[in-house]
Amino acid sequence: MSLPLHRSASDRAAPAPKGLKRDQVTAAEWSDWHWQLRHRLTRAEDLEAFVTLTEEERRGVALAPDLFRVGITPYYASLMDPARADCPVRMQVIPLAREERIARGEYVDPLGEDGLSPVPSIVHRYPDRVLLLALDRCAVYCRHCNRRRLVGQDDGVISVPQLETALDYIRGTPQIRDVLISGGDPLTLSTDKLEWIVSSVRAVEHVDIVRIGTRVPVALPMRVDDELCAMLRKYHPLYINTHFNHPKEVTPEAIEACTRLADAGIPLGNQTVLLRGINSEAAIIERLNRLLLKMRVKPYYLFQGDPVQGTDHLRTPVGAGIEIMERLRGRITGMGIPQLVIDAPGGGGKIPIGPNYLMAWGNEQLTLRNYENKVVTYVEPAERDCRCTYDQGC
Ligand SMILES: *Cc1c(COP(=O)(O)O)cnc(C)c1O
Ligand code: SF4
């Protein structure tokens, strides 16, 4: 059988992947997630099997090992436009020489996570929830990654003793009600290893919900198999947040992955990062969010790019995001409107930003504008006491 590179989307005109010895790749191998991880593209020669590299990309790939590793599943590479360097898939994973530049206001650790880590592998910024960084491997290494200082170092899983220490911290901190398992990409762990982590977190009595952040449905959708879904559904309430950035990523394979997760009863959210020239127009975000809703994924956050070193060329002016939000309101259901946030540099948490609809407020009366810029007045009620007497003393 030949490599099924062209099976599902008309714009998938990837050439025969020479480096992968096309004739030797079977459909069974292609749909095997271990095979996909083992055959990630890392070098210019590997990439040349899928795309014609530009000079800037070639220099980027040469520089990258010292900056942030390159790794792309053959599946994700098959979504690339072979001829155009402005392809939104290509731009997310093939480095440019410009990554070498450090712009004003950029940091190694833009969110100050290292300073919020009471024990290794835990980031504790908000009182009621923590990040548990379970491994540093991902299916693909995104050029905009805000954790590039940690991710992809040795492609490994954090050691069991280190994870035990992190779990002990969660066990010993009763304010924690929500554990977000992240990394790296937790769904690239073996099902057994992931089950050990998820079940250990779930077993903590004060933890209400478990969340997993993953790009696997985007970059390695074949990993979402029956074994994984059967395991995850045992640990409800469990939520998954994916990371789709462009409609091109919503392939039949990605739809199948999200459908399986949703059918396992897992509420799905999506976190998109605004990326200049990739998804920085309202029409693209609108199209993406409509596709997400169709596969039962609720757009959750739209992130202004974090100021991580070497990503200046991928970040947008803040006004672009606000304009996108302005254009979404009224044109798509509120279910399809994420919250636009800036994650505060230095570690202040997520700060919502967006268009201002409140024009004036005084004398118990508000002047507002709607999405069509129609001005309306809202008069507040006379009674001001908002105490709820029923619950007093509960
Ligand atoms: C984003 C984030 C969370 C989760 O935030 P939610 O708004 O609850 O999704 C938790 N901890 C840290 C450190 C974060 O960056
Ligand atoms: S999948 Fe997430 S953690 Fe991994 S490189 Fe991409 S953005 Fe970073």
Residue 1 near residue 10, CB atoms below 8 Å: no
Query: Tokens in use for 170?
Result: 């969660």
265-322 residue pLDDT tens: 999 999 999 999 999 999 999 999 999 999 999 999 999 999 999 999 999 999 999 9
Check whether residue 77 and residue 147 sit in a common domain.
no
Please report whether residue 127 resides in a domain.
yes
Please report whether residue 177 resides in a domain.
yes
Environment class of residue 363 by beta-carbon count within 10 Å: exposed (0-12), middle (13-18) or buried (19+)?
exposed
Check whether residue 83 and residue 145 sit in a common domain.
no
Buried b (16+ CB within 10 A) or exposed e, 157-169: bbeeeebeebbeb
The percentage of residues in the chain with a pLDDT greater than 70, rounded to a whole number, is: 93
pTM for this one? 0.94
Q: Which atom of ligand 2 is nearest to the CA of 184?
A: 3
| Domain endpoint, select from 100, 132, 164 | 100
103-130 residue pLDDT tens: 999 999 999 999 999 999 999 999 999 9
Nearest to 240, CA basis, from 303, 281, 198:
198
Average pLDDT over residues 168-190: 97
- Angle (nearest 5°) at CA 126 between 216 and 306: 55
| Domain endpoint, select from 70, 100, 130 | 100
CA atoms within 13 A on the CB side of 350: 13
Please report whether residue 2 resides in a domain.
no
Check whether residue 87 and residue 118 sit in a common domain.
no
Whole domain around residue 256: which residue ranges?
114-352
Number of H helices, E strands in the chain: 13, 12
Check whether residue 62 and residue 135 sit in a common domain.
no
Cβ count near 293 (within 10 Å) = 16
| Domain endpoint, select from 75, 100, 125 | 100
Check whether residue 150 and residue 250 sit in a common domain.
yes
Residues with CB under 6 A from ligand 1: 123, 125-126, 129, 131, 180, 350
- Whole-number Å distance, alpha carbon 257 to ligand 1 midpoint, is 24
Please report whether residue 192 resides in a domain.
yes
Is the C-beta atom of 137 inside 6 A of ligand 2? no
The catalytic residue positions are 125-126, 129, 138, 142, 145, 147, 306, 343, 350
Please report whether residue 205 resides in a domain.
yes
- Whole-number Å distance, alpha carbon 364 to ligand 2 midpoint, is 47
46-57 residue pLDDT tens: 999 999 999 999
- Whole-number Å distance, alpha carbon 156 to ligand 2 midpoint, is 14
249-261 residue pLDDT tens: 999 999 999 999 9
Buried b (16+ CB within 10 A) or exposed e, 73-103: bbbbbbbbbbeebebbbbbbbbbbbbbeeee
What are the angstrom distances between the C-alpha of 128 and each of 101, 123, 168, 199, 351?
A: 37, 12, 16, 19, 17
Nearest to 37, CA basis, from 123, 163, 135:
135
Please report whether residue 262 resides in a domain.
yes
Predicted local confidence at residue 394, as pLDDT: 56
How many separate domains does the chain show? 2
Q: Which of 141, 155, 249, 301 to mutate to test the pocket of ligand 2 (most atoms within 8 A of CB)?
A: 141
Check whether residue 75 and residue 121 sit in a common domain.
no
Check whether residue 91 and residue 119 sit in a common domain.
no
Please report whether residue 34 resides in a domain.
yes
Average pLDDT over residues 222-231: 98
CATH number at residue 160: 3.20.20.70
Is the C-beta atom of 216 inside 6 A of ligand 2? no
Nearest-CA residue for atom 5 of ligand 2 = 141
Please report whether residue 217 resides in a domain.
yes
Tell which phi-psi region holds residue 382, choosing left (phi > 0), alpha (psi between -120 and 50) or beta: alpha
Query: Tokens in use for 200?
Result: 């250990």
Check whether residue 302 and residue 154 sit in a common domain.
yes
